[in-house]
Structures are given as C-alpha cells and as structure tokens.
C-alpha cells in the first residue's frame, strides 16, 4: 500500500510540474508579445508627439511673426523681447538673482543683533546676545 501511495504522489508531482512548466512557457510568450506591442506603441507615440510638438512650435513662431508684421503695419510700437526667449538675458537674470541672494545673506550676517526684527521673523525662544 505504501508503494502505491508513493507512486501516486510521484505522478501528482510530475503532473503539477508539467502544468507549472506549461503555464510558465505560455506566460513568457504572452509577456514577450505584450513587450513587443508596448515597444512599438512607445515608438509610434514618441514619433507622433515629436512631430506634433515640432508642428506646434513652427505654427507658434509663424503666428508670432504674423502678429508682429500686423502690429508693424498698424503702427503699434513693438514690445521689447521677452526674457524666456532671450538666452543671453536668461543668464543675466540668473546672475542678478544670485547677486540679490548674496546681498540679502550678507545683510543678515552683518546685521547688528540689537537691531529690531519684526515679530513675525523672530524665532520662538530666541536667545539674544548681550553685546554692547
């Protein structure tokens, strides 16, 4: 009786391993198909979005040129160029902002501790030095 039970357990284990192997092979095949589809869709989407962005940028530039041309024809004075469209001025803005930050920090570090600070900027339980 124990030999029959051992053979049955062995048959069940072989069948379970066979079913698991078949399921694994089918799952891997499905995953490969899904990955190929995803890669193809990603490529198509990337190309479509890139083309749409390029077309939108070209149309925006053309519209801007037409608007400036129409404004000139109507005698409206031209506005100065905007900062984001000027790479040189963007660098100057960054330098000015850095300079303002440095100036503010230097003011804080060189400030006399006895000077009055607005109550909204005083930390609670602040210890002040008794320099005189």
Query: For residue 96, which of 1, 104, 29, 42 has the smallest C-alpha distance?
Result: 104
Q: Could you tell me the pTM of the whole model? A: 0.38
Residues spanned by the domain of 14: 1-75
Q: Which of 54, 75, 96 is the last residue of a domain?
A: 75
Q: Please tell me the distance from the alpha carbon of residue 126 to that of residue 132, in angstroms, as a whole number.
A: 18
What is the structure's pLDDT at 132? 46
- Model pLDDT for residues 26-80, shown as the tens digit of each residue: 999 999 999 999 999 888 888 888 888 889 989 998 998 898 888 888 887 776 6
* Structure token digits, residue 50: 């890139």
- Model pLDDT for residues 116-125, shown as the tens digit of each residue: 555 555 555 5
Is the same domain home to 11 and 67? yes
The dihedral built from the CA positions of residue 67, 72, 75 and 79, taken in this order, carries a sign that is positive
Q: Cα–Cα–Cα angle for 116, 113, 107, nearest 5°?
A: 90
């Amino acid at each position: 009786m124990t030999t029959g039970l051992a053979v049955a357990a062995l048959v069940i284990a072989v069948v379970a391993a066979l079913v698991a192997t078949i399921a694994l092979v089918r799952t891997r095949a499905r995953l490969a198909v899904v990955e190929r589809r995803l890669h193809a869709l990603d490529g198509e989407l990337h190309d479509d979005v890139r083309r749409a962005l390029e077309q939108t940028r070209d149309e925006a530039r053309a519209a801007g040129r037409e608007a400036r041309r129409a404004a000139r024809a109507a005698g409206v004075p031209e506005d100065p160029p905007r900062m984001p469209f000027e790479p040189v001025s963007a660098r100057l803005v960054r330098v000015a902002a850095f300079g303002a930050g440095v100036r503010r920090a230097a003011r804080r570090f060189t400030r006399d501790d006895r000077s009055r600070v607005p109550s909204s900027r005083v930390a609670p339980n602040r210890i002040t030095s008794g320099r005189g």
